[in-house]
Structure 1
Amino acid sequence: MRAVVVRGFGGPEVLQIAELPAPEARPGHVLIDVDRAGVNFADILMREGTYITEITLPCVLGSEVVGKRRSDGRRVLAFTMRGGGYAECAVAPRGTTFTVPDAIDDGAALALAVQGNTAWHLLHTCARIRRKESVVIFAAAGGVGTLAVQLARQAGAGRIIAAASTPAKRRLALELGADVTVDSASADHLAERLIDANGGHRVDIVLEMTGSPSLTASLEALAPFGRLLVFGYASGRAATLDTRDVLAGSKSVMGFALPQIYPRRGMLAHSMNELWNAALSGALTPHVGGQYPLSEIQRAHMDLQARRTTGKLLLDPAR
């Protein structure tokens, strides 16, 4: 089978197409003929060797696929757990494999997988969002952001503030339901601009994935008992927080990594069901921003890393 292999950490050039033996399904796993695979920013960190967990080389990246289960031909969405999605065939645990409703296409299904579940758990499991609370969403035109804007609106958020780096991305966030936008391309006076966007009031919830300096500004903009949820560090610059800033405002800072919910019985199944229902009802519209042939995986990574994309990116392993 054709697959994308990483044999050494580095830039997009380390992503190489190779012919590999098809994987075999271990007990408790299923074999899937992949129709589309998802591309995530975490894949870039894995490729670079800077991900939050250790990556063993050589490896095939890709944490989510849509395709046909080899045993019965059923169309499924699967979280592969150990990578392997950038390929014509992939293996996934039965417990993280879900039948895709007929009315949801492959791209929408993949958008709801890693990004959809991340957005859902950030708002509901971590932030425990309440009606009328204000929410700041960084990278609001990205895979997580486009869904978080809609889910926050569905949850009854009082004011949704979308932070994005270009006018086009900010327009997309407004179309999806944000109340106001903030230019995140500049860090100058960012905390003050977030507060101004909330009518002069400090904000209740911030979903942040870029790292320093926006994380520091987000903490400064939080209201008493506000919650700052950290789910990435796309800038590559980690922020150091002063615990006095947390104590003084009774503020909370919490990290979130989606793989932590996989072994917790029922958590992924519950959020996946909520996302399916929201998409089927029309309350949630997944945004697919681009589709690349497997042979152009290097370009996909370059476009994502340069922030030239919006929404969910897909790979077609047949091309």
Structure 2
Amino acid sequence: MRAIQQVEFGGPEVLELVDVPVPQAGDGEVLIRVSRAGMNFADTHQRENSYVQKQQLPLIPGGEVAGVREDTGERVVALTGHGGYAEYAVAPQDRTFPIPDGLDDGAALALLIQGLTAWHLYRTCARLTGGESVLVVSGAGGVGSLAVQLARPLGAGRVIATASSEDKRALCLELGADAAIDGDASDADTLRERILEANEGREVDVVLEMAGGPLFDVALRAMADMGRMVVYGISSREQNEVRTGRLLKRSQSVIGFWLFHYLERPEHLRAPLAELFALAADGSVTAVVGNTYMLSDARRAQEDLVGRRTRGKLLLDPSG
């Protein structure tokens, strides 16, 4: 089968299109004929071996796929961990979920890792309560575009999003944000003022943050007493330090989230995913599916992702 494989860690140039044997499903696993592989920012960290979980070589990247079970013919989405950038992939049976009728593969993939992440950011981590204001960093991205839409159904009041371009900010407004602002943090005081102005002069209650670096620091300064910041990524590659005295003085929380800590508990997956699929079915949430790249263009796809030239959920088509 055709797959993207890397035998060393590094930049996009280490991603090679190769022919490898079709994987074999073991006990408790299923073999899936892949129709689409989902792309995530975490894939770029895996490529460099800078991810939370260390990787082993040779590596076929890709933590999620949509396709057809070879044993039953059922359309499914699945969390694979790795191996998704290929024509066939193996996934644990308990991390494989049927795709409801009427939901296409791209939308189902958008609701898998990114949807589950957005759901848990609100429900499990921030514990959003009715009427609280929310700041969604990178609101036009895969997780961000869903977090903007989920905010209101899950109880938020005012919703503010950051985005790097006018068309991305327009998308955030279309998705339901009350305000969309430029997230450029080169002038920290100016960005903080933009956040407060977008929230009608008030500090924000909940921040969903995945950038790190200067934006993290500004968002923390714009957070209200008893506010909660949930950190689920470091796309800038710049880590931050937080003074405990500040958290104590303002009763604030900074919470880390990594979805893969939740995979061992089925209740953290099936019920939230069922809720997400239901919200998609009734039109409350629309999965924003971005570009679909051929498998052979995986390098360019990751370059576009890191370069912030994309929006929504990115997909790989293994047929080309």
TM-score range, shorter chain: over 0.9
Amino acid across the alignment from 2:213:
S
Task: Give the structure 2 partner of residue 123 of structure 1.
Answer: 122
> What TM-score, normalized to structure 1?
0.98
SS at match of 2:186: coil
CA deviations on 1:272-312 (whole Å, 9 max, x unpaired) are 10111000111110001100000000110011010000000
Tell me if 1:306 matches 2:287: no
Task: Give the structure 2 partner of residue 201 of structure 1.
Answer: 202
Amino acid across the alignment from 2:232:
F
Task: Give the structure 2 partner of residue 18 of structure 1.
Answer: 18
Report matched runs for 1:187-266 at 5 Å: 187-188=186-187, 189=189, 190-266=191-267
Task: Give the structure 1 partner of residue 95 of structure 2.
Answer: 96
State whether residues 163 and 181 of structure 2, in contact with CA within 8 Å, keep that contact through their aligned partners in structure 1. Answer: yes
Task: Give the structure 2 partner of residue 105 of structure 1.
Answer: 104
Residue range with higher mean Cα deviation, 49-58 or 293-302 = 49-58
State whether residues 164 and 183 of structure 1, in contact with CA within 8 Å, keep that contact through their aligned partners in structure 2. Answer: yes
State whether residues 166 and 185 of structure 1, in contact with CA within 8 Å, keep that contact through their aligned partners in structure 2. Answer: no
Residue range with higher mean Cα deviation, 301-310 or 51-60 = 51-60
d(CA) in 1 for partners of 2:53, 2:29? 23
Task: Give the structure 2 partner of residue 84 of structure 1.
Answer: 83
SS at match of 1:232: coil
SS at match of 1:95: helix
CA deviations on 1:255-286 (whole Å, 9 max, x unpaired) are 00111110013110111101110001111100
How many angstroms does 1:96 deviate by?
A: 0.6
Task: Give the structure 1 partner of residue 47 of structure 2.
Answer: 47
Task: Give the structure 2 partner of residue 290 of structure 1.
Answer: 291
CA deviations on 1:196-230 (whole Å, 9 max, x unpaired) are 21111111000000001111111111111100000
Task: Give the structure 1 partner of residue 63 of structure 2.
Answer: 63
State whether residues 38 and 62 of structure 1, in contact with CA within 8 Å, keep that contact through their aligned partners in structure 2. Answer: yes
d(CA) in 1 for partners of 2:151, 2:79? 24
Task: Give the structure 2 partner of residue 137 of structure 1.
Answer: 136
How many angstroms does 1:186 deviate by?
A: 3.5
Residue range with higher mean Cα deviation, 302-311 or 148-157 = 148-157
Report matched runs for 1:163-178 at 5 Å: 163-178=162-177
Aligned in 2, Cα 1:187/1:124: closer, same or farther, shift over 3 Å?
farther
d(CA) in 1 for partners of 2:198, 2:104? 36
Which 5+ residue runs of structure 1 have no aligned equivalent?
none
How many angstroms does 1:156 deviate by?
A: 2.9
> What TM-score, normalized to structure 2?
0.98
Task: Give the structure 1 partner of residue 268 of structure 2.
Answer: 267
Which 5+ residue runs of structure 2 have no aligned equivalent?
none
State whether residues 184 and 215 of structure 2, in contact with CA within 8 Å, keep that contact through their aligned partners in structure 1. Answer: no
How many angstroms does 1:135 deviate by?
A: 0.1
SS at match of 1:103: coil
d(CA) in 1 for partners of 2:296, 2:266? 37
State whether residues 185 and 215 of structure 2, in contact with CA within 8 Å, keep that contact through their aligned partners in structure 1. Answer: no
State whether residues 125 and 230 of structure 2, in contact with CA within 8 Å, keep that contact through their aligned partners in structure 1. Answer: yes
| Number of residues of Structure 1 aligned to a counterpart in Structure 2 | 318
